[in-house]
Amino acid sequence: MKMTPEMTEAQERMAPGVITAQGFLGHDTRNVAEIIAEDERYFALREIPIERLVERMRELQEAGSAGLGETISVEPYWEVRVNEARGVLPCPFSDGVYGKINTIVIDRQSKEEIVYSDLTIHLIEKHHFFQGVGSPFRHEPEKYARILHL
């Protein structure tokens, strides 16, 4: 995948201190196009549509919202808690703003946990961008697939 001018601008907005204190790229040395291509490759090789991942993320967030900030059991595998903070975060690709809603999902079998936000869901759904290695909200595609039982 080639870096477009829009991706270059988005990558500049992903730097620490621009939108968030820590940024979106962590210590990853790859450019945004390379990060996206590699993460897309993981799902393509396993024949897991990214849309399926996003659907599961939304399902768990919706189910967890019923807990009103408390952890609830979501069958068959998970414990889920949804926390909301005041404010919004803009997408670095400049196509919307998203509430500061974090979803914490724990796989009861493995005890592994992932945390994702509304912005994370958007970045994965619209841009196939999982963030750079070392970013606070980056989870490797295989971790999503494993914990979300895809």
Integer Cα distance of 104 and 82 in angstroms: 6
Do residues 28 and 35 touch, judged by C-beta distance below 8 A?
A: yes
Do residues 122 and 91 touch, judged by C-beta distance below 8 A?
A: yes
Indicate the domain borders of the chain.
Answer: 5-147
The pLDDT, as a whole number, for residue 76 is: 95
Average pLDDT, consecutive stretches of 10 residues, N- to C-terminus, the chain (150 residues): 91 96 96 97 96 98 93 96 93 95 97 96 97 93 96
Do residues 95 and 126 touch, judged by C-beta distance below 8 A?
A: yes
What's the pTM?
0.93
The pLDDT, as a whole number, for residue 122 is: 98
The pLDDT, as a whole number, for residue 16 is: 95
The pLDDT, as a whole number, for residue 1 is: 77
